[in-house]
Chain A
Amino acid sequence: MLQARLIRKMRFYVTKSSALAMAIALVCVMAGSPAGHAENKLKVMTATTDLASLAQEVGGDKVDVESVAKGYQDPHFVEAKPSFLLKLRKADLLIVVGLELEIGWLPPLITQSSNPNIQVSANGYLDASRFARILEIPTGQVTRAEGDVHPQGNPHYWLDPDNGLRVAKGIADKLSEMRPNDAAYFAQRYSDFEQRLKQADEKWKAEMKPYAGRKIVTYHRSWPNFAEHFQLNVVGYVEPRPGIPPTPQHTVELIGQMKRDNVKVIVVEPYFDLKTPNSVARETGGQVVVLLPSVGGEKEVTDYFKLFDYDIAKLKQAFDATH
């Protein structure tokens, strides 16, 4: 009896020490391979492709830019896949949209990346929303009876070229701060971008001018900044509340409203189901147009300029076809 006990105890100690050794070995292996050192190029990760495009514009060949979300993906519902961690843990700078757009997936990625540079408020963390003009900031009490509202304002602010410019400036300043030696380069890139964007914006505004004041309906509240900049009037939404899928009752109301106000164009983001918008269009004699809220929503839309080129061309087509 006692002997059996003793043997058991010994066995236990042996296994215990071997487990300890294993743990120590594991830690040694872990500590032995330090994270990759920063190369010459700044490694920039962005939450969305639009920010990636802006960062690329001002960063030029001094930065490596990659976005976590794809342009054809709903930026509210990105999966926090571990494969992103491989990139995030080596990033020098992380640029986020902010205003709780990424709240469902970015915080755990930032934590798990164990990259001190990009933790919230660290030097390599940049919230682009603080440079931008934000619309639809709720006043008074905010409840989810309103759906998935963003208490700090509408996060789809990049769809206004003025905001794109402001964010690009913010990114250029950040890059200069991180790489003072290249500050002149970034400033030069920015002023070049500013010039090109202002030029393009003149063109876009001129193209949209004949349609100023037109009423449209959108699926989600992704377009307030776009509508404001190009003087469109968003009068209704396919979603009864932000983030709540269409309901029959709301759809009937929407059809009535569109008929009353003679609204013919329904703007839908590429990641939403077209069934309800199509049936609304059939009822009202309108047209559904899939506009891209982000760079990369279609293959040919490879940068911030092409995003507006694409959307405006599609919108014009839809307006012309319904009138």
Chain B
Amino acid sequence: MKKTFVLCALLFAAVDARAQASSTSDSPGDPSLVEKPAANSEARIQTLEQQVSMLAEQVAWLRGQLKVLADAKVPGDESGARLVLTSAPAPVSAESSSSSVASAAAMRAAAPDAPVPQAQAPQSTQSQTFGGASGNARLLNPDISLIGDFIGAVGHNDVTPMPSLQLHESELGVQAIIDPYARADVFISFGEEGVNVEEGYVTFTSLPAGLLLKVGKMRADFGKINTIHNHALPFIDRPLATNNLVGGEDGIDDAGFSLSRILPAPKGWFVEATAQVFRGDSSDVFTASERQDASVVGHLRGYKDITESTNLDLGLSYARGHNDLGSAFITSLYGADATLRWKPLRRAIYKSFIFRTELFYSLRDQISPIDLSQTMHAFGMYSSAEYRVNRRWTLGGRFDRSAHARNANLIDTGLSAIVTYWPSEFSQIRGQYRYGHLATAPNASFDNANELLFQFLFVMGAHGAHPF
């Protein structure tokens, strides 16, 4: 009891002392007011005090804003704010002789004093000249970007025809750090058929034990090509194997959880394991007829720098879910990928080479006219190469071969040659010649396709970099 009383007394004393201190700190402005001529008195001082307190409030609010904006800019901000605060009374008193002073005018009057801290101490480390522009309206807004993807096609293709001209996709990206523990990335694609949330997930970056958790709708970590957005592909179309076995353009893209972690590995190797659980609805690969028809995806990635400019990236993937025939029908997918990259660091913007191969193996349970039920084994693959000739031009090629998931006897073959031109980092013009020996499913006949595709890509706004 006594203790609390003493504590209270102490507290009061402290508050009192502080109040006194603040009143004395206010006083330097006062003498000049007192010395002002004419019949000024209590009333004027009161209005002035009100204005000063109003200013102080505004400064406090501004300071709060600054604190929110500039993470730990504390020392610089505080000194700056204090300078404005102490310099405020003088202009106010000067103008107060003209009787009516709006707070806006006071602010305006205070404004010319703002450069004071800059002029005063160009050498001191903590003045307001330092750091980048912070009066930027974008500061608390997410990064917003839009990527337009315009595709045209000429030539002959009766099996998988494409419109002659189309704004194939407009991808709106909204990305931001949510709080100290998470960031979110949302990509909405407006296509010819409508709007689709391509990806939208939150990533928890501060979990214990080095775990990385993603929750939301995302492109599954199945192989390489499945994770890449359309605009980031090195070709205009997706490989035949993707279309035939792994869900086409959208691929395995589903709502669920993803947990990954870097695993201990021999020196120089980066090994990462990812386990994902999804609802089980992805294009024509997986269909969830019942709530428990979840699909799972597992991915193991190994990466090694062979030299400073050359690296090898290997991956094994597994996916399993239920297909459109019902809960009892399973589709399992196996994938293997290998990527060899070469990019000399000194000439990174002029020369590079990438070779990639992905293999897919699909096991699909389905109804068979002979055995009632059967598991269809289908194999598909593609190999692609990409060579950057100079800063603006890239040449590429791709070989495709893939059976159909529903009928492994139908095997498509394709060949592509690709030329890409980059006017800048933010736009891209691409042409692709595509030959296809394509099977038509109903009557099991083959048709040759010869096409010329062209593409214009443009990026607006700040599009966050995609993972390597």
Contact = CB atoms under 8 A, between A and B. Distances in A.
Contacts of B301: 82
Contacts of B133: 134, 137-138, 151-153
A4 B373 contact: yes
Given A15-B330, A111-B183, A74 B262 contact: no
A116 B205 contact: yes
Nearest to B131: A130
A262 to B, nearest CB: 30
Interface stretch (B218-226, B345-353, B430-438): B345-353
A12 B467 contact: no
Contacts of B263: 29-30, 33
A9 interface: yes
A279 interface: no
Interface stretch (A42-50, A102-110, A202-210): A102-110
A20 to B, nearest CB: 8
Interface in A90-135: 98-99, 103-105, 107-108, 110-112, 114-116, 119-122, 127, 129-134
B311 A81 contact: yes
Given A8-B373, A83-B305, A273 B328 contact: no
B468 A108 contact: yes
B465 A5 contact: no
Contacts of A114: 205, 207, 210-212, 261-262
A86 B270 contact: yes
Contacts of A19: 296, 320
B247 to A, nearest CB: 19
Contact of A121 (B71, B125, B277): B71
Interface string B192-207: 0000000000010111
A73 B392 contact: no
Interface in B49-88: 70-73, 76
A252 interface: no
B119 to A, nearest CB: 14
A129 B330 contact: no
A271 B350 CA distance: 9
B424 interface: yes
B264 interface: yes
Chain B contact patch, size range: 35 or more
Contacts of A98: 132
Given A89-B210, A103-B462, A153 B328 contact: no
Interface in A151-168: 151-153, 166
Given A19-B296, A131-B125, A152-B132, A34 B210 contact: yes
A74 B350 CA distance: 11
A97 B345 CA distance: 19
Nearest to A154: B132
A184 interface: no
A13 to B, nearest CB: 10
Contacts of A166: 125, 130
Given A4-B373, A245-B391, A9 B328 contact: yes
A180 interface: no
B405 to A, nearest CB: 18
A74 B320 contact: no
A38 interface: no
Given A108-B464, A243-B425, A129 B262 contact: no
B269 to A, nearest CB: 9
Contact of A108 (B298, B391, B425, B466): B466
B350 A273 contact: yes
A129 B138 CA distance: 18
Given A29-B263, A70-B345, A82-B270, A107 B328 contact: no
A148 interface: yes
Contact of B130 (A86, A134, A273): A134
A23 interface: yes
Contacts of A122: 180, 206
Interface residues of A, number: 73
B377 interface: no
A72 B346 contact: yes
Contact of A111 (B203, B259, B304, B349): B203
B275 A4 contact: no
Interface string A56-86: 0000000000000010111001111111011
A19 B295 CA distance: 10
Given A22-B298, A30-B259, A74 B349 contact: yes
Contacts of B138: 151
B425 A85 contact: no
B328 A5 contact: yes
A203 B331 CA distance: 73
Contacts of A148: 424-426
A108 B465 contact: yes
Contact of B467 (A99, A112, A129, A147): A112
A244 B424 contact: yes
A9 to B, nearest CB: 6
Nearest to A174: B72
B370 interface: no
Contacts of A8: 328, 365, 373
Contacts of A81: 303, 305, 311, 468
Interface string B330-361: 10000000000001011111100000000000
Contact of A112 (B212, B268, B425): B212
Contacts of B1: none
Contact of A273 (B208, B262, B313, B391): B391
Contacts of A72: 345-346
A277 interface: no
Contacts of B304: 83
B343 A130 contact: no
Contact of B298 (A4, A23, A119): A23
Interface string A2-42: 00110011001001000100110011011101110000000
Given A27-B275, A111-B205, A116-B205, A86 B305 contact: no
- Enumerate the 10 nearest inter-chain pairs by beta-carbon distance, A residue then B residue, closest first: A152-B132, A116-B206, A130-B131, A30-B261, A114-B212, A82-B270, A80-B468, A82-B303, A137-B133, A73-B345
Given A82-B301, A122-B206, 18 more contacts: A8-B373, A15-B320, A19-B296, A23-B275, A26-B298, A30-B263, A30-B273, A77-B348, A77-B349, A110-B205, A114-B205, A121-B180, A127-B71, A131-B130, A148-B426, A152-B132, A152-B133, A153-B133
Interface of B: 70-73, 76, 125, 129-133, 136, 138, 177, 180-181, 183, 203, 205-212, 259, 261-264, 268, 270, 272-273, 275, 277, 296, 298, 301, 303-305, 308, 311, 313, 320, 327-328, 330, 343, 345-350, 365, 372-373, 390-392, 424-426, 462, 464-468
6 contacts: A8-B365, A19-B320, A82-B313, A114-B210, A130-B132, A273-B391
